[in-house]
Amino acid sequence: MNIYDIDSDKVINAIVASGSITYKEAIEKLVPLISKTEFQRKLQDKKFYEKLERDIVDGCIMPSITIAFVDKSINTSSKKEDIIKFFEKNYSKSFVLDGIQRLNTLSRVSESKGIDLEKKLYLNIVYSDSVDKLLYRMITLNNGQKPMTPRHQVEVMMANVFDFKELGIEVQTEKERAVKIKMNSFNKSDLVQAYLAYMANSPMVDNKKIIQEKMDELIVNKIVSAEKVENDSTFESVIKSLAKFQKSPISLKWLKQANNLVGFAVGMKTSSADIKNLTVEQFENAIKIFDQAFSDFNPSKIKLGKLRRELSYDYFKNYDKLRDFDSLELLEYFSELTND
């Protein structure tokens, strides 16, 4: 490996090293990252990359790829030798932010006659202390590449970075739930939607009236244009709060409902400190008051799912202001909020 430059990305507070490795080393160390999890991006049919295959064999310079680490040990004072040593020791813990298709193409032509496996593959290596910041960068890097939707990118990030059992919650895919449902488990697709909404800083990231392609564009636009929230909130803190509050059966049932989960996650982005300091009993009482206020809306006059998502978001976003409201006071607040 060669490292040519080390710089900082001030938008996501990350260290970015520019360097290169040989094709041979990329095939050995980076190609296995492609199939690291079942959630990785679905690889395109190889016909889309046949021209690149021929070019690689003919000696082209392949466009650089970007890999990332969630790590705090590499910083502005790190030297090139530190980057190389870290990579050699930890490359299996990295994941591809941009370039999965190119690595897959390289893998397919690796045994072709005439390929120079000592040719350089240029790399950008991103080191960040935050999964959310890396997801933001991943989405901006892949924006416009139709095969990888924002949802797919969130799935990749969640699968590569979050150890749900270690964080304290059980998570199941739809496929796993079809075989056997774990009663206390969260639906992975609901968590993906909650993470999308969290990154977009908006609870509304799903609208069946809009074709999916355009909805994906809207989501990316929301994520890219979302204002920074100046606090220590991360989606990991949301997961840890789920693990804490699920000790109450009432809270677990409430949080497993997708609209509640999405609203809670996005609201917590703004009021992370307040929510994290709640006891299990305080959170249970908070959602009881919320549900009592919400139950007084006329179901024939509202879209229940949409309103529940929006109001749970507002409730937890402004929890410091609303925490002492009783159900009637909260209903009055919600009434003013929803009054057209």
| Cβ pair 70, 83 in contact under 8 A | no
Cα(207)–Cα(226) distance, integer angstroms: 19
Beta bridge partners of 16: 7, 126
Query: Which residues touch 254 (CB under 8 Å, ≥6 apart)?
Result: 260, 287, 291
- Tracing tokens 């045994």 back to the chain, one arrives at 111
| Cβ pair 6, 78 in contact under 8 A | yes
- Tracing tokens 């990785």 back to the chain, one arrives at 40
Q: What is the mean pLDDT of residues 2-18?
A: 89
- Tracing tokens 């999965």 back to the chain, one arrives at 100
What is each CA distance from 37 to 40, 67, 113, 157, 292, in whole angstroms? 6, 16, 31, 10, 42
Q: What is the mean pLDDT of residues 81-91?
A: 92
Token couple for 143: 């924006």
Specify the pLDDT at position 206: 67
Specify the pLDDT at position 3: 93
Question: Tens digit of pLDDT for each residue in 258-317?
Answer: 999 999 999 999 898 999 999 999 999 999 999 999 998 877 777 888 899 999 999 999
Tell me, rounded to whole angstroms, the distance of Cα 13 from its chain centroid: 17
Question: Tens digit of pLDDT for each residue in 18-61?
Answer: 999 999 999 999 988 876 543 344 444 455 567 778 888 888 88
DSSP three-state, residue 16: strand
Cα(170)–Cα(245) distance, integer angstroms: 13
How would residue 204 be classed by pLDDT, with cut points 50, 70 and 90? confident
More confident residue, 191 or 45: 191
Cα(148)–Cα(116) distance, integer angstroms: 30
Question: Tens digit of pLDDT for each residue in 145-169?
Answer: 545 566 766 776 677 678 888 889 9
| Cβ pair 114, 53 in contact under 8 A | no
The most distant pair of C-alpha atoms in the chain lies apart, rounded to whole Å, by 76
Which conformational region is residue 65 in: left (phi greater than 0), alpha (psi within -120 to 50 degrees), or beta? beta
- Tracing tokens 């003013």 back to the chain, one arrives at 336
Cα(148)–Cα(96) distance, integer angstroms: 13
Specify the pLDDT at position 40: 41
Cα(51)–Cα(49) distance, integer angstroms: 5
